[in-house]
Amino acid sequence: MARVPAAVLNALIRIRRSPRTLARHYRTRSPHPAVELVPQPHPWGRALGLVAVVLLGAWLGLLIVGNVRTPVGPMNTTMTLRPSLTGGTKINVSPLGALQLDSHHAPVRLDVNVDQLDPARSQALVDHPERLSGLQDEVAEDVEHGTLDLAVRSGVAVVAGATALGLAVYRRPRRALAAGGLALTLLAASGGTAYATWNPDSVLQPKFSGLLSSAPSLVGNARSIVTEFDVYQQELARLVTNVTKLYDVTSTLPAYQPDPTTIRVLHVSDIHLNPASWKIIASLVEQYQVNVIVDSGDTMDHGTAAENGFLDPVADLGAPYVWVRGNHDSQVTQRYLERMKNVHVLDDGRAETVAGLRFAGLGDPQFTPDRSEKSGAQETQEAAGARLAASLRDWTTAGKPVDVAVIHEPSAAREVDGSVPLVLSGHLHHQETEVMSNGTRLRVEGSTGGSGLRAVEGKYPDPIEASILYFDRDTRHLQAWDSIKLGGLGLTTAEVSRHLPEENLPGATPTPTPSPTASPTPSSSAP
């Protein structure tokens, strides 16, 4: 057999190779290898990723090194900046509770933890009370130095944290430095926002929690807060020194000595058959030396005669009880209360003077114990409010103006705008306050019964809410109020926040009292 030439044999072998083999063969021999294209992330995705790295790194930096230990007055404290959606300042005084101030609005919150009290400085204040006069300036100077130190340290912590995390994630020094620069920019912007929104008057409206919830009654009555603000500041300072004794001995905070020139009104509403409410009310009456209790309705749940026995503790609460009917209270309920000693039932615009204040009210025009809504309910409430407003104007014409109006539904209460300085209501199961267009202040109380059995219907139990209203005995004008919020069913938290009307803030221009339009014919209701 003839031999196949070597050149032909090699050509046949090349032809029989598979296309994949040929492709691989020529790729390996090609002097220019193929370049694989890697998909690049979208610019917005890169930006969001960088922001996430910056925020996480800054937060980690603040957690690790972003705090300052500094003395403030007689206390050794730790100041920390924390990310926050609401801003403000929180002062933790363990184990007494916390004090929150609405000091600024920025995405950072200042936390001040009282670590311990310096025995020497604290004892010096206790032994030499005259030094309290300069305590405010000393505390302000300490806080200023501590805040400046905290700002520098927080800046370093934020930049270092963001840069380190950026380097770990991107492994590129340029991207890491960009993360650090962005973190510093965000911190500077937050600091500028805090400075621009700084509110030094926030100390006038603090929110207390824990054992400090009794602090509003310790720092004086409403009249002294308005007219003697310097005394109020000194009493706040004195409260700080009292903490020393609380650490050393097991005792309660100093007893509140009521000022006889201040009328204290306890506003409750929507008890809804919660028996625990009576003990809470009695405790508030004793603690705040309450002169009169005002209940704006829905004391009952179904208004049946079988529920009437629930009302018996009202006679032993230690203060006169002013009451109006709510939509869960029946005429049976009203008649039962009318027969009780020391209870003043207001209806049909009747007015009574109790504890130096003149009250007038109107019972809820609807009775809906099943929580149903009848057609025309809004119009019915507005008509009831209009009737109450007419009675208020009649009393003014008769020379007996009303100081406080009471009606259950806020929609009805809005109809008395301009006819009375203050109107109290409930029904909504949460607290609200507003000054209406004609100058009347509307104060809506929360549920002092924590919504009763309805407390278990939601994910979290409703809080138990009440308010202490402070009135000047001479002018009978509202001077301040304390909002009290207790944890609902099964909870043990407590918060008390003090509020002042805008016209009573230092430097504010007094707001004139609403001047009701006189009606030509006075009401025939008995005083």
The residue written with tokens 């009763």 in the block is: 452
Instruction: Identify the band that residue 164 occupies on the pLDDT scale cut at 50, 70 and 90.
Output: confident
Count the neighbouring beta carbons within 10 Å of the beta carbon of residue 64.
11
Average confidence score pLDDT of the chain? 75
Question: What integer is the mean pLDDT of 319-344?
Answer: 95
Going by C-beta distance under 8 Å and a sequence separation of 6 or more, which residues neighbour residue 384?
A: 362, 364, 365, 407, 409, 412, 415
| Per-residue confidence (pLDDT) for residue 159, from 0 to 100 | 85
Main-chain phi, psi angles of 506, to 5 degrees: -55, 130
Q: Which of 107, 68, 114 is nearest to 90 (CA)?
A: 114
| Residues 117 and 75 sit within 8 Å (Cβ to Cβ) | yes
Main-chain phi, psi angles of 330, to 5 degrees: -100, 175
Query: Residue 210 region, left (φ>0) first, then alpha (ψ -120 to 50), else beta?
Result: left
Query: Residue 442 region, left (φ>0) first, then alpha (ψ -120 to 50), else beta?
Result: beta
DSSP 8-state secondary structure symbol assigned to residue 254: P
| Per-residue confidence (pLDDT) for residue 480, from 0 to 100 | 87
Token pair for 282: 């009695």
pLDDT tens track for 37-55: 555 566 777 777 778 888 8
> What's the burial of 63, exposed, middle or buried (CB within 10 Å: 0-12/13-18/19+)?
middle
Instruction: Identify the band that residue 161 occupies on the pLDDT scale cut at 50, 70 and 90.
Output: confident
| Per-residue confidence (pLDDT) for residue 343, from 0 to 100 | 96
| Residues 395 and 351 sit within 8 Å (Cβ to Cβ) | yes
Query: What stretch of H or E contains 155?
Result: helix 135-170
What's CA 81's distance to the chain center, in Å? 20
Q: What percent of the chain has pLDDT over 70?
A: 65
Residues in the chain: 527
Instruction: Identify the band that residue 500 occupies on the pLDDT scale cut at 50, 70 and 90.
Output: confident
pTM: 0.62
Q: What percent of the chain has pLDDT over 90?
A: 30
| pLDDT at residue 190 tops 70 | yes
Question: What integer is the mean pLDDT of 112-124?
Answer: 67
pLDDT tens track for 380-437: 999 999 999 999 999 999 999 999 999 999 999 999 999 999 999 999 999 999 999 9
| pLDDT at residue 521 tops 50 | no
Single-letter code of the amino acid located at 461: P
Question: What integer is the mean pLDDT of 120-136?
Answer: 57
Q: How many whole angstroms separate alpha carbon 400 and alpha carbon 81?
A: 55
| Per-residue confidence (pLDDT) for residue 71, from 0 to 100 | 78
Whole-Å CA distances, 20 to 154, 419, 430:
62, 95, 77
More confident residue, 57 or 33: 57
Percent helix, strand, coil in the chain, to 5, is 45, 20, 35
| pLDDT at residue 495 tops 60 | yes
| Per-residue confidence (pLDDT) for residue 321, from 0 to 100 | 98
Count the neighbouring beta carbons within 10 Å of the beta carbon of residue 457.
9
More confident residue, 65 or 191: 191
Single-letter code of the amino acid located at 338: E
Question: What integer is the mean pLDDT of 247-268?
Answer: 58
Token pair for 118: 């310096």
